[in-house]
Amino acid sequence: MANIKDVAKIAGCSISTVSYALNDDKRIPEVTARKIKKIADDIGYLPSAAARNLKKKNTRTVLVAISDFGGPVYHELLDGIHYELAKNDYTMIVSTGASTDNLLKERMADGTIISDINITNKTLKQISKILKPIIILDRKLDDTDLVDMTIDNYDAMYRLTEDVISKGYKKIAFCHGVKKTHDNEYRFNGFKDALNNHGLKVYAEYIGNFTKGSGAKLAEELLENRQLPEMIVCANDEMAIGIMEVLQKSGYNIPGDIGISGFDDIELSSYFTPKLSSVRINRFEWGKKIAKTMLSLLTKRKAEVNKEQGELKIRDSY
């Protein structure tokens, strides 16, 4: 693999000249620079990122760590982050699972954006002392240097619940996702407070894990016990869809017999019959904001933090 030395040898100049030329330093005259670049091209010289990063002590790279590539939720977010980062000539790399662990243990990026519930608070606290800046999307953690940019789950769910109440539903249940996750807790609190402030009680609480499967299982249990509420507010769309599928197979009409709502507004939701009412987050915009914050953290070391608002998408499922 050709290195800068090889280029210098062929060009008959010093290493420093090559380096300056390749980096468009103005002290190298146009004509020399062109010649050097030509040679570099010809022999297939690619600079070693390792050597450069080592010397410059930065990588112009931001790492985004996510739980998995499977969920329908991340794409827009990643595209938004990438859009903004690329505009500022930063490189984005994405990782999951074990790869994230490795990447976190070796400082390969200048900044890190994390939305991965598999990373424990403990780990997070540890690395937050060492690996700044870090923006965290899926929880809040006090007494750390983590910058959190969560969605305003509470507010959105509060508003959705008010809309449900306004339709006349009284026996309203909540279907939890993974308990203790930030998303679930804040959504539930918004739900509960809206109910209470309108003189209603939580009719029942069910526990899923954010997947379609868990929604389906839950619905089967409900059918067995014949204890259906008038309405189930779900912590996310996937569980809502799982519930609807099972209920429909058993002959229930939605929203005739029971109302259902979701959260996230994944693509499937508007194709399902009935179309699922949900909360839409403009994740592309959210991603852009996150990237902007990261950029200012990287340069100015400070940031204006921002809660992302959700938009109610009331359709046909309640």
DSSP-assigned states of every residue in 114-158: EE-TTS-HHHHHHHHHHS--EEESS---TTSSPEE--B-HHHHHH
Closest CA to 316 of 244, 240, 255: 255
Instruction: For residues 17 and 33, give the distance between their C-alpha atoms in angstroms, rounded to a whole number.
Output: 9
Residue 184 beta carbon to its own copies: minimum distance, rounded to whole angstroms: 23
The interface with DNA within residues 51-70 (CB under 7 A) comprises 51-52, 54-57
How far is Cα 225 from Cα 265, in angstroms, rounded to an integer? 30
Distance in Å, CB of 117 to its own copies, minimum: 16
What would the x/- binding string for DNA be over residues 3 to 32, using CB under 7 A? xxx-------xxxxx-xx-xx---xxx--x
Return the number of the residue (159 or 212) whose C-beta is nearest its own copies: 212
- Chain residues in the site for its own copies (CB under 8 A): 1, 44, 46-54, 59-60, 68-72, 74-76, 78-79, 82, 85-86, 91-99, 102-103, 105-108, 129-131, 267-268, 271-273
Backbone angles phi, psi at 61, to 5 degrees: -130, 140
Distance of CA 131 to the CA centre of its chain: 19
For the chain, first and last CA: distance in Å? 63
Nearer to its own copies, 197 or 273 (CB): 273
Report if residue 37 touches DNA, rule: CB under 7 A: no
Residue 1 is a binding residue for DNA (CB under 7 A): yes
Q: What is the spatial distance between Cα 210 and Cα 187, in angstroms, rounded to a whole number?
A: 13
Residues numbered 217-256 forming contacts with DNA, rule: CB under 7 A: none
Nearest approach in angstroms of CB 172 to its own copies is 26
Interface ranges with DNA (CB under 7 A): 1, 3-5, 13-17, 19-20, 22-23, 27-29, 32, 45-48, 50-52, 54-57
